[in-house]
Amino acid sequence: MTRLSLAKARAVASRHPDSWVIGSDQAAVLLDAFQQQRILGKPGTQARCIEQLRSCSGRTVAYLTGVAVVQGSDGRAFEFVDTTRVTFRTLDESTIERYVVRESPLDCAGGFKSEGLGISLCASIDSDDPSALIGLPLIRLCEVLRRVGFPIP
């Protein structure tokens, strides 16, 4: 999961060698009926978003957030993955459609964002870091930044 976040951070760090750079990426993972992992990417269209949310209805989805902190000049890198589990309530078709039209979460993993109306789709959220679900687990990130010398706070 950290492969993309590391690639993003290294791409920026190569242009800013005196800087520390943070890269992050998130994927939603759903177990299908055969207990096989199904990755739910960014839906891109309303139809795909509705399909993804339909598949999440009444189920638990793991949101994996990979983070990489990279130093440009020497290439030092610190990486971690945060897992947040979201259990969706049972969603009827009109609820899903209303949510997608109002929130337009087409660029969000699994077609869901908790920081808006998406929270109303949840039965529960299990996480060590409530900021992780919005794409950047700040508790663990602050730990890494302190480790490399940033005085936070």
- Catalytic residue list: 25
In the chain, the DSSP E strands lie at: 20-31, 37-40, 60-71, 77-88, 122-126
- Classify 48 as helix, strand or coil: helix
d(CA 30, CA 119): 18
Identity of the residue numbered 8: K
